[in-house]
Structure 1
Amino acid sequence: MTSSLKSTLNWFSAIVGAVIALQAIYVAMAGGWDITLSRSWILCGAVIVALLNNLLADKRLKSGDLPSGPFKVALWAFDLLLIVIFVIATLKFIEIMRLIEETLFEYETADIAIAFAGVLVLLETTRRLFGLPIVIIAALGILYCLYGEYLPGFLNHSGFSLNRSMQTIWYSFQGVYGLPMGVVLQVVLIFVVFGVVLEGSGASDALIRASVALTGRTRGGPAHSAVVASAVFGSMSGSVTANVVGTGSFTIPMIKRRGFPAATAGGIEAAASTGGQIVPPVMGAAAFLMADLTGSAYTTICIAALIPALFYYGSLFASISIQAGASGIEPIPKSERPPLNKQDLVACLLFVIPILTIVFVLVMGRSPALAGFWAIVAAVILGGFNKRNRENPRVIWEVLKKAGRACAWIIVAVGCIGVILGVLNLTGLGLAFASVVAEFSEYSLFAALLTTALAALVLGMGMPTLPAYLIIILVLGPVMQKLGAELIPTHMFVFYFGVLSAITPPVAIGAFAAAPIAGAHPFSTAIAAVRLAIVGFIIPFIFVYEPSLLLVGSFDLESFVRVSVSLAFAIWLINTAMIGYEGGNLGSIERSLRALVGVGLLIQVPALQMGLLVIGILIVIQRRMQARRKDTQKL
Structure 2
Amino acid sequence: MPVTDSLAKACGLLAAALGLGLALQAIYSAYFGVWEPWFHRSLVVGISVAVVTLTTSLVSRHKPKRRLVAACLIAIDVAIIAVVTLALERLFNAYEHVDDIMLAYSAYDLTVSLLAVLAIFELSRRLFGWPLFLFSLLILVYCLYGDHFPWIFRHSGFSLEQTMQILWFGLQGVFGMPTGVVLQIIFIFIVFGVLLEQSGAGAALIRIAFFLTGRSRGGPAQAAVVASALFGTMSGSVVANVVGTGSFTIPMVKKRGFSGPFAGGVESAASAGGQFVPPVMGAAAFVMADLTGYSYLSICIAALVPALLFYLSLALSVGLEARRLGIRPTPAEDLVTPNRRDWLNGLMVAGPIAAIIIVLTMGRTAAMAGFWATVTVLVLAFLINPDFRRKPGRVLGMLAAGGRTGATIVIAVAGIGVVLGVLNLTGFGLKFASLISVIGEGNLFLSLLLTMLACLALGMGMPTLPAYLIIVLVMGPAIRNLGVPVLALHMFVLYFGVLSAITPPVALAAFAAAPIAGANPFTTALVAAQLSVAGFIIPFVFVYEPDLLLILDFDLANFVWVMVRFGAALWLTATAFAGFERLSLAPWSRIGRLLCAALILPGFIPVSLAACGLGALIVAYDMLLRQKFAPRETLASGSAAHGKRN
Q: TM-score, normalised by structure 1?
A: 0.95
Matched, 1:557 2:556: yes
| Residue equivalent to 2:294 | 296
Work out whether residues 46 and 85 of structure 2, in 8 Å CA contact, stay in contact via their aligned partners in 1: yes
Counterpart-to-counterpart distance in 2, 1:616 and 1:76: 64
| Residue equivalent to 1:129 | 127
| Residue equivalent to 1:6 | 8
Work out whether residues 258 and 329 of structure 1, in 8 Å CA contact, stay in contact via their aligned partners in 2: yes
Work out whether residues 461 and 508 of structure 2, in 8 Å CA contact, stay in contact via their aligned partners in 1: yes
CA deviation string 1:566-621 (max 9, x = no partner): 11111111111111111112222222222221222223323211221222233334
Deviation at 1:420, TM superposition (A): 0.9
State the secondary structure of the residue aligned to 1:393. Answer: coil
Q: 1:283 aligns with which of 261, 281, 284?
A: 281
State which drifts further: 443-452 or 331-340: 331-340
Counterpart-to-counterpart distance in 1, 2:95 and 2:216: 61
| Residue equivalent to 2:224 | 226
Q: Give the direction of change, closer, same or farther, for the CA distance of 1:141–1:568 in structure 2 (3 Å limit).
A: same
State the secondary structure of the residue aligned to 2:234. Answer: helix
Superposed, 1:516-535 pairs within 5 Å as 516-535=515-534
Counterpart-to-counterpart distance in 1, 2:133 and 2:612: 47
| Residue equivalent to 1:85 | 83
Deviation at 1:103, TM superposition (A): 9.3
Counterpart-to-counterpart distance in 2, 1:206 and 1:390: 19
| Residue equivalent to 1:169 | 167
Superposed, 1:138-157 pairs within 5 Å as 138-157=136-155
Q: Give the direction of change, closer, same or farther, for the CA distance of 1:335–1:139 in structure 2 (3 Å limit).
A: closer
Counterpart-to-counterpart distance in 2, 1:348 and 1:361: 21
Counterpart-to-counterpart distance in 2, 1:428 and 1:87: 31
| Residue equivalent to 2:211 | 213
What amino acid is the match of 2:51? V
Deviation at 1:551, TM superposition (A): 1.1
Counterpart-to-counterpart distance in 2, 1:627 and 1:281: 46
| Residue equivalent to 2:37 | 35
Counterpart-to-counterpart distance in 2, 1:310 and 1:97: 49
Counterpart-to-counterpart distance in 2, 1:351 and 1:159: 51
State the secondary structure of the residue aligned to 1:452. Answer: helix
State the secondary structure of the residue aligned to 2:484. Answer: coil
| Residue equivalent to 1:314 | 312
Counterpart-to-counterpart distance in 2, 1:335 and 1:150: 70
Work out whether residues 583 and 627 of structure 1, in 8 Å CA contact, stay in contact via their aligned partners in 2: no
Matched, 1:513 2:515: no
Counterpart-to-counterpart distance in 2, 1:44 and 1:202: 32
Superposed, 1:396-415 pairs within 5 Å as 396-415=395-414
Superposed, 1:79-118 pairs within 5 Å as 79-100=77-98, 105-118=103-116
Superposed, 1:473-492 pairs within 5 Å as 473-492=472-491
| Residue equivalent to 1:24 | 26
Work out whether residues 216 and 329 of structure 2, in 8 Å CA contact, stay in contact via their aligned partners in 1: yes
Matched, 1:612 2:614: no
Work out whether residues 235 and 241 of structure 2, in 8 Å CA contact, stay in contact via their aligned partners in 1: yes
Q: 1:383 aligns with which of 370, 381, 384?
A: 381
Q: Give the direction of change, closer, same or farther, for the CA distance of 1:443–1:118 in structure 2 (3 Å limit).
A: farther
Counterpart-to-counterpart distance in 1, 2:437 and 2:566: 29
Counterpart-to-counterpart distance in 1, 2:630 and 2:301: 44
State which drifts further: 364-373 or 606-615: 606-615
State the secondary structure of the residue aligned to 1:474. Answer: helix
Counterpart-to-counterpart distance in 1, 2:615 and 2:357: 40
State which drifts further: 133-142 or 474-483: 474-483
| Residue equivalent to 2:59 | 57
Deviation at 1:530, TM superposition (A): 0.7
Work out whether residues 358 and 375 of structure 1, in 8 Å CA contact, stay in contact via their aligned partners in 2: yes
CA deviation string 1:329-384 (max 9, x = no partner): 01112343233454433232121111111111111111111111111111111111
Aligned length: 631
| Residue equivalent to 2:578 | 579
Work out whether residues 290 and 301 of structure 1, in 8 Å CA contact, stay in contact via their aligned partners in 2: yes
State which drifts further: 453-462 or 590-599: 590-599
Deviation at 1:145, TM superposition (A): 2.1
Matched, 1:590 2:592: no
Counterpart-to-counterpart distance in 1, 2:4 and 2:507: 36
Q: Give the direction of change, closer, same or farther, for the CA distance of 1:381–1:305 in structure 2 (3 Å limit).
A: same
Matched, 1:542 2:541: yes
Work out whether residues 4 and 59 of structure 2, in 8 Å CA contact, stay in contact via their aligned partners in 1: no
Work out whether residues 302 and 550 of structure 2, in 8 Å CA contact, stay in contact via their aligned partners in 1: yes
Deviation at 1:324, TM superposition (A): 0.2
| Residue equivalent to 1:332 | 330
Counterpart-to-counterpart distance in 1, 2:557 and 2:478: 29
Work out whether residues 542 and 604 of structure 1, in 8 Å CA contact, stay in contact via their aligned partners in 2: no
Deviation at 1:95, TM superposition (A): 1.9
Counterpart-to-counterpart distance in 2, 1:236 and 1:364: 23
State which drifts further: 321-330 or 416-425: 416-425
Superposed, 1:445-484 pairs within 5 Å as 445-484=444-483
Deviation at 1:12, TM superposition (A): 1.1
Work out whether residues 593 and 615 of structure 2, in 8 Å CA contact, stay in contact via their aligned partners in 1: yes
Counterpart-to-counterpart distance in 1, 2:28 and 2:179: 17
What is the percentage of aligned positions where both structures have the same residue? 48
Q: Give the direction of change, closer, same or farther, for the CA distance of 1:165–1:598 in structure 2 (3 Å limit).
A: same
| Residue equivalent to 1:417 | 416
Work out whether residues 545 and 604 of structure 1, in 8 Å CA contact, stay in contact via their aligned partners in 2: no
| Residue equivalent to 2:495 | 496
Counterpart-to-counterpart distance in 2, 1:590 and 1:631: 16
What amino acid is the match of 2:556? L
Deviation at 1:312, TM superposition (A): 0.4
Work out whether residues 214 and 329 of structure 2, in 8 Å CA contact, stay in contact via their aligned partners in 1: yes
Q: 1:364 aligns with which of 343, 362, 365?
A: 362
Work out whether residues 31 and 368 of structure 2, in 8 Å CA contact, stay in contact via their aligned partners in 1: yes
Q: Give the direction of change, closer, same or farther, for the CA distance of 1:391–1:632 in structure 2 (3 Å limit).
A: farther
Counterpart-to-counterpart distance in 1, 2:590 and 2:378: 52
State the secondary structure of the residue aligned to 1:581. Answer: coil
What amino acid is the match of 2:401? K
What amino acid is the match of 1:356? A
Work out whether residues 276 and 495 of structure 2, in 8 Å CA contact, stay in contact via their aligned partners in 1: yes
State which drifts further: 13-22 or 384-393: 384-393
Counterpart-to-counterpart distance in 2, 1:370 and 1:529: 37
Counterpart-to-counterpart distance in 1, 2:370 and 2:615: 45
Work out whether residues 429 and 478 of structure 2, in 8 Å CA contact, stay in contact via their aligned partners in 1: no
Deviation at 1:248, TM superposition (A): 1.1
Q: TM-score, normalised by structure 2?
A: 0.94
Matched, 1:189 2:182: no
Q: Which runs of 5+ in 1 are unaligned?
A: none
Counterpart-to-counterpart distance in 2, 1:606 and 1:46: 55
State the superposition RMSD in angstroms.
2.0
Deviation at 1:301, TM superposition (A): 0.7
| Residue equivalent to 2:70 | 72
| Residue equivalent to 1:352 | 350
State the secondary structure of the residue aligned to 1:237. Answer: coil
